[in-house]
Amino acid sequence: MNEELQKLAYKAHSKKRDFKDAADKIRKLKPARADELFHQLHEQAFAEINCLECANCCKQLGPRLTNSDIRRLSSQLKMKTSDFTAQYLNLDEDHDYVFRNMPCPFLLPDNYCMVYSSRPKACKDYPHTDQKNIKSIINACIKNTETCPAVFYIFENL
């Protein structure tokens, strides 16, 4: 992990008060305005930040996998879903399937995803900063400033 990523959780923690204040301002906006603002900052963040130089979410978080994700991944890997589940997955405390080990078993050394075209929906959607009704997930976004430099960028620029 590069030095900047190592410091991210600490930096995000030290700015938590500012980020909570920014979230309070977002809560006061109309939903469409909040979504528009996040969309603009999301585009700006990912114009500056290259996920292939990061992959922090694939190393630290990992997705929850739906049954549809499991079927799609098993098919790509030409495995039975039961074998795929036994080899790669565990149930977490909420009874959701998650990868047994992190970093993700499909993360390659150059930060590419080995199963990119079949990756779980949660991987496609992360960090969720371009989704509708951003106000409904604003607390999760604050938490993600500790892991994702793009979300940190967005909160610094709100």
In the complex, the smallest distance separating the C-beta of residue 76 from ligand SF4, rounded to whole angstroms, is 11
Q: Which of residues 56-95 bind ligand SF4 (CB under 6 A)?
A: 56-58, 62-63
Half-sphere exposure in the Cβ direction for 6 (13 Å, CA): 3
Candidates 22, 41, 98, 104; binder of ligand SF4 (CB under 6 A) is 104
Compute how many residues bind ligand SF4; rule: CB under 6 A.
Answer: 23
28 vs 110, which CB is nearer to ligand SF4?
110
Candidates 84, 129, 147, 155; binder of ligand SF4 (CB under 6 A) is 147
Among candidate residues 144, 113, 111, the one with its CA nearest the CA of residue 129:
144
94 vs 109, which CB is nearer to ligand SF4?
109
Sign of CA dihedral 61, 6, 112, 110: negative
Pairwise CA distance, residues 76 & 92, whole Å: 24
Say if residues 135 and 26 touch (Cβ distance below 8 Å). Answer: yes
Contact call for residue 127 and ligand SF4 (CB under 6 A): yes
Binding marks (x or -) toward ligand SF4, 21..50, rule CB under 6 A?
Answer: ----------------------------x-
- DSSP state letter for 118: G
Q: Which stretch binds ligand SF4 (CB under 6 A): 10-18, 34-42, 117-125, 133-141?
A: 117-125
Helix, strand, coil share (%) of the chain residues, nearest 5: 60, 5, 35
Cα 144 to Cα 19, 127, 134, distances in angstroms: 11, 7, 13
32 vs 114, which CB is nearer to ligand SF4?
114
Phi, psi of 8 (to 5 degrees): -60, -45
Chain positions contacting ligand SF4, by CB under 6 A: 49, 51, 54-58, 62-63, 104, 106-107, 113, 115, 119-120, 123, 126-127, 147-150
